[in-house]
Amino acid sequence: MTEHPNTQQPDGVPDPRLEQLRERLQAVRERIGSAAAAAGRAESPPQLIVVTKFHPAEDVRRLAALGVTDVGENRDQEASEKAAALAALELRWHFIGQLQSNKAKSVVKYAHAVHSVDRLQLAAALAKAMAVEQDRTGRAPLDCFIQVSLDGDSGGHRGGALPADVPALAAQLAGSAGIRLAGVMAVAPLGADPVPAFEKLAELSARLTAVHPGAAGISAGMSQDLEQAVRLGATHLRVGSDILGPRPALR
Ligand SMILES: *Cc1c(COP(=O)(O)O)cnc(C)c1O
């Protein structure tokens, strides 16, 4: 693979962080490949989104040099700064964190997808912001995943809509110009077996695609549970710490 020309190191100067990221990325890609093969999905493996939150833009640049095309962020200010600094790389930025409606205008300026749409008010704010943004730039529609809560307490710390609220949210997103309803997203409950949660998500996905056949995306699976997610049909994996290492302390 050829290196992207834009790494900061002058030619010939070793970059230990690049080598570390290369090894960890390769290990995660191998895990995904094995899980996909075991699930009979070798021909349609999931999309890897590397979650770069709390890590510097320079690491995102290194990942791009290693062939990463999709990155995930969970805070608007950090994401918008990194996306601006790395605009030349043509990465796809995925917003995966809880999002306040008043940040929609900012997020649609850089995000290819939002994985955390969990309420009608946010869906409306994103649609409104996309109408303005598409007028201004002609950008492609925003992919929106409906985040569902799989531990039964909507508003719990992991976020997400109640499963019963998915149809109304889906109808609103599907009816919004500038938005493409992409599918469902979830974070497995902390400290519990992820399998029942991912099974429930697969069920919700089947119900959603019965009405919206194009919305077949399933965003699930992180460092700890990507194998289970692949087995249960995840189309998008959001992997952070197993590639980038522990997140630096909050600034
Ligand atoms: C941080 C984060 C991830 C990545 O988690 P890791 O355990 O570091 O792989 C995935 N999804 C969401 C929503 C996150 O906030």
Per-residue pLDDT reduced to its tens digit, 17-36: 999 999 999 999 999 999 99
Predicted structure pTM score: 0.94
Residue 174 has a pLDDT of: 98
Residue 153 has a pLDDT of: 54
Per-residue pLDDT reduced to its tens digit, 49-67: 999 999 999 999 999 999 9
Between CA 238 and CA 145 the distance in angstroms is: 13
Per-residue pLDDT reduced to its tens digit, 80-124: 999 999 999 989 999 999 999 999 999 999 999 999 999 999 999
Mean pLDDT of 148-152: 84
Pick the residue whose CA is nearest to atom 7 on ligand 1: 223
Please list the residues that pair with 219 across neighbouring strands: 185, 236
- The length of the chain in residues reads 251
Ligand 1 center from residue 231 Cα (angstroms): 19
Residue 154 has a pLDDT of: 44
Cβ(181)–Cβ(174) below 8 Å: yes
For the chain, list the domains and their CATH numbers. 43-244 (3.20.20.10)
Residues 6+ apart with CB under 8 A from 84: 110
Residues 6+ apart with CB under 8 A from 104: 122, 125, 126, 128, 129
Ligand 1 and 240: CB distance under 6 A? yes
Positive or negative, the CA dihedral 80, 83, 84, 90 is negative
Cβ(181)–Cβ(215) below 8 Å: yes
